[in-house]
């Protein structure tokens, strides 16, 4: 479902800079991990997938390998998860900002 929205993002302006995409990928993946088994899980998955793909595209554009980008996403997710789990206001705000940028493909 998210593939068309990623193409739209790429066609319009390309993904955000790698560091920005990576931060959103980490935050949304951490949120997805925390949402497993809840009613929020499908939306959290969509957001995490969108940002993971955007990060991989930004990495490719910047000449980084897929392996390095994937490892960075996992490492940053591991850092982002505890503050979200603890309800840290800054972590929640960063996640909200990333979620606002995920295209609404459900109509």
**In-domain check, residue 105:** no
The CB density around residue 96, as the number of other CB atoms within 10 Å, is: 11
- Tens of pLDDT, residue by residue over 10-61, are 445 678 999 999 999 999 999 999 999 999 999 999 999 999 999 999 999 9
Query: Tokens for 51?
Result: 């940002």
Tell me the per-residue pLDDT of 15-26, one tens digit each, with 9 for 90 and over. 899 999 999 999
Q: What is the mean pLDDT of the chain?
A: 90
Fill in the DSSP letter of residue 17: P
The answer to whether residue 15 is domain-embedded is: no
Range of the domain at 86: 2-6+20-100
Q: How far apart are the C-alpha atoms of 93 and 66, rounded to whole Å? A: 28
Tell which wins on pLDDT, 74 or 2. 74
pTM of the model: 0.85
Identify whether 12 is part of a domain.
no
Listed residue (25, 30, 27) closest to 15, CA to CA? 25
Q: What is the domain count for the chain?
A: 1
Which contacts of 33-40 are long-range, i.e. CB under 8 A and separated by 24 or more positions?
A: 33/77, 33/81, 34/81, 34/84, 34/85
Quote the CA–CA distance of 39 and 46 in Å, as a whole number: 13
Asked whether residue 29 is domain-assigned, the answer is yes
């Amino acid at each position: 479902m998210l593939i068309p929205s990623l193409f739209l993002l790429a066609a319009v302006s390309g993904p955000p800079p790698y560091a920005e995409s990576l931060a959103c990928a980490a935050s949304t993946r951490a949120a997805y991990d925390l949402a497993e088994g809840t009613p929020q899980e499908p939306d959290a998955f969509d957001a995490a997938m969108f940002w993971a793909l955007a990060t991989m595209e930004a990495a490719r554009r910047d000449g980084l390998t897929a392996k390095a980008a994937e490892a960075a996403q996992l490492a940053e997710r591991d850092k982002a998860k505890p503050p979200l789990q603890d309800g840290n206001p800054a972590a929640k705000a960063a996640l909200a900002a990333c979620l606002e940028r995920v295209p609404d493909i459900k109509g």
